[in-house]
Amino acid sequence: MSEQNFVDYVKICCRSGAGGKGSMHFLRTRKTPLGGPDGGDGGRGGHIILRGNRNVWTLLSLKYRKHVIAGKGVDGSSNNKTGADGDDVFLDVPLGTVAKDAETGEIHFEITRDGEERVLVSGGRGGLGNSHFKSPTNQAPRYAQPGEDGREEWKILELKVLADVGLVGFPNAGKSTLLSVITAAKPKIGNYPFTTLVPNLGIVSYRDTRSFVVADIPGIIEKAHEGKGLGLRFLRHIERNATLLFMIPCDSDDIQQEYDILLNELRSFKEELLDKPRVLAITKCDLMDAIMLEQLKAFLPAGVPYIFISAVAQTGLEQLKDLLWETINSQEAENE
C-alpha cells in the first residue's frame, strides 16, 4: 500500500435521520363511519453504523467524505401502519478502529472483529400515532407525536493497527528488512532515517500451517511521546500489538541505553504498554563473529528474553519465530 493511501485518522460530520411523524387518523369506512383512532407510528430515522471489515486496511474511503447523512424515517399512516425506517448508513472500517467524540474526546467504542456492527450516531425515534393515546376518557385523541430529530455530531475515527507482534526500534534498526524476509510484505527499505512512514503488516508462516501477524511500526526517536519525529501519530499503533519485539543493532554504541530510551518513550506515551510481553532482537549480527557476540551478552538488558539475528544473512530467524510464537501463546493463555 502506498504511503499516501494509508489513512489512520479522519474527522467526519455525522447526521442521523429524523424519525417519521406519528399519524393522526381515524378509521373511516362504509361500515364504520365513526371509527376510533388508527394512526400508525412514524419510522425510526436512519443510524450511522460502523462495520468491521478485515479486508479494509485503512480509513482512506472516509478521508474525503466529510459529511455522512442517514435517511429520514417515513411518517405513519392509517390503519395503524408504521412508517418505514430511514436508510441506515454503513461505514466499513478496518479492525482496530476507535470511534471518539470530536468535542469531548470521549471514546465510544473500538471495532475489533470482522462483521462487528456498532451504532456511531443513532437515528431519531419515530413519533407515536394517535391510536396510542386513546383512553376511556379520551376516545378520539386528535394529536400524535412528531418524530424525534436526528443528531448532527462530529466524530473522530482513529486506526490502531492490530497485530500479534509489533516491531519497536529506532529508525534503521532493521525492522523493515526483517518484515520483508519473514513475511511476503514488501515495505520500503533504505539506509536513511524514517524510511518507513506508515505501519506495514505481514503474515508470518509458522510450523504446521500456523501463522501470526507482524506490524512494522515507523521508527521511534527520543521524545517521540512529545510529538517529535513521527511521534504520537504512530505510537498509538503499538497499543494494539499483543507482543513487542524490540530491535537494536549489534553495532549500537550502547544497547542498554537504546533499550531504556525506547521503554521510556512507551512509558511516557501510555504506562500500560509496559505490561505487554517483550522480546529483544539484536539485529545485523552478520557484522560480528561468534566471539564478539558472546562478549556482547554482558551488555544486554536484564530480564528480557533476547536473540541474535541477521535478516540479511537469514540467521536466527527460525529461533526468533519460535520465541515469538511461545510468547504470543503464553500471553493468550494468561488472558483466558
Please give the pLDDT value at position 184. Answer: 67
- Which residue, 136, 159, 182, sits at the end of a domain? 159
153 and 173 within one domain: no
100 and 131 within one domain: yes
Q: For the domain that residue 25 is a member of, what is the CATH number? A: 2.70.210.12
199 and 126 within one domain: no
Please give the pLDDT value at position 43. Answer: 97
Residue 52: closest CA among 203, 210, 162, 185 = 162
Number of structural domains the chain divides into: 2
Dump pLDDT digits (tens) for 129-168: 999 999 998 989 999 999 999 999 999 998 877 778 888 8
Q: Which residues in the chain come in under a pLDDT of 50?
A: 1-4, 187-197, 224-231
Calculated CA dihedral for residues 87, 91, 95, 97, nearest 10 degrees: -110
- Which residue, 159, 190, 217, sits at the end of a domain? 159
- Which residue, 102, 125, 159, sits at the end of a domain? 159
177 and 307 within one domain: yes
182 and 148 within one domain: no
155 and 170 within one domain: no
User: Distance of CA 24 to CAs 21, 35, 68, 99, 322, Å?
Assistant: 9, 13, 32, 39, 71
245 and 225 within one domain: yes
Please give the pLDDT value at position 193. Answer: 43
Residue numbers of the domain that contains 291: 163-335
Q: What is the CA radius of gyration of the chain?
A: 28
**Beta bridge pairs of residue 243:** 165
CA 181/CA 246 separation, integer angstroms: 17
